[in-house]
Amino acid sequence: MNFAITVLGSGSRGNAILVHNAGNAILVDAGFSRKALLEKLSAAGINPCIIRALLISHEHGDHVDGVRLFSDELGIPAYLTMKTAASLEETGKLGKKKVLFETGSVFDIGGFQIRPFAVPHDAIDPVGFVISSGDARAGIATDLGHINSLCMQRLKDCDALILESNHDVEMQNRSDRNMRLKRRVLGKHGHLSNEDAINSFEELVTERTKYVFLVHLSSDCNEYELVLRTARAKLDGLGRPDVKLIIVCQDKASETIWI
């Protein structure tokens, strides 16, 4: 069965990705307030009653700030690892319903098959996701310092790729951020640079790939036009001008695509 993807917003002030079909939906991360999430869903024409679960990638606030209220109001469970659940329970950010999964396991929600995989990021137990239904498959990795061999294996050969393109290294180095933050962002467990994201297309973009979303752009160490120009040039250089490239903003939902 085909399904749709709408990135409701992505950046350091909130992240949420909706995977949906005619009758079921999964929300990957809930980094906006309950009110903002409901407004974004309404603007996208989505009835929140079709959301069957929240998938949580890691415990950072820009991915979980809306989890507790959104989950409790709709009566839907949050799916997450044991360590991430413990972290959210300590901070009061986890709702009443939770379902624990093990990284590397495979499970089903509302006709979608979910496969979480470990990603290198400075969180307690961070994961990305491969989500499939029928012959359609999407790979999601929004926060990672580099693309290791496991990430490459999981994200390769998807119909839609949702990948971080956080910063331009030169802009990061020139910024007035403190050195500790710069080292964190640029480190192997920080955030993915434009260059690393775009170079990964050589392996990740295959004949099957139809859509590439680039997400989690830094507001002060990146530029929309820079990402668009360089990523488009890379895809064209690989002989893939047909791949639809979508650069996602913080405060505006992406277009909805079907795979």
Number of domains in the chain: 1
Q: Is the pLDDT of residue 25 over 90?
A: yes
Average confidence (pLDDT) over 87-95: 97
On whether residue 159 sits in a domain, the answer given is yes
> Is 255 a domain residue?
no
Average pLDDT over residues 144-158: 98
| Structural domain boundaries enclosing 84 | 4-249
In a domain, residue 157? The reply is: yes
Task: Tell me what percent of the residues of the chain surpass a pLDDT of 70.
Answer: 100
Looking at the domain assignment, is residue 59 inside a domain? Answer: yes
pLDDT tier for residue 116 given thresholds of 50, 70 and 90? very high
- CA–CA separation, 211 vs 221, rounded Å? 25
Q: Is 259 part of a structural domain of the chain?
A: no
Q: Sorting pLDDT into bands at 50, 70 and 90, what band is 22?
A: confident
Does the pLDDT at position 137 exceed 70? yes
CB atoms within 10 A of CB 7: 27
**pLDDT confidence bin for 31, thresholds 50/70/90:** very high
Mean pLDDT of 83-106: 98
In a domain, 74, yes or no: yes
d(CA 21, CA 111): 9
DSSP 83-136: HHHHHHHHHT---S-EEE--TT--EEETTEEEEEEE---SSSS-EEEEEEETTE
Is residue 1 very low, low, confident or very high in pLDDT (cuts 50, 70, 90)?
low
In CATH, what number is assigned to the domain containing residue 75? 3.60.15.10
Using a cut of 0.85, tell me whether the model's pTM lies above it: yes
Predicted confidence at residue 248, as pLDDT, reads: 98
Q: What average pLDDT does the segment 24-51 reach?
A: 96
Neighbours of 179 (CB within 10 A): 7
Mean pLDDT computed over every residue of the chain: 97
101 pLDDT above the threshold of 90: yes
pLDDT above 80 for 244: yes
Split at pLDDT 50, 70, 90, the class of 11 is: very high
Is 257 contained in some domain?
Answer: no
Is pLDDT at 213 greater than 70 in this prediction?
yes
Residue 218 has pLDDT above 80, yes or no: yes
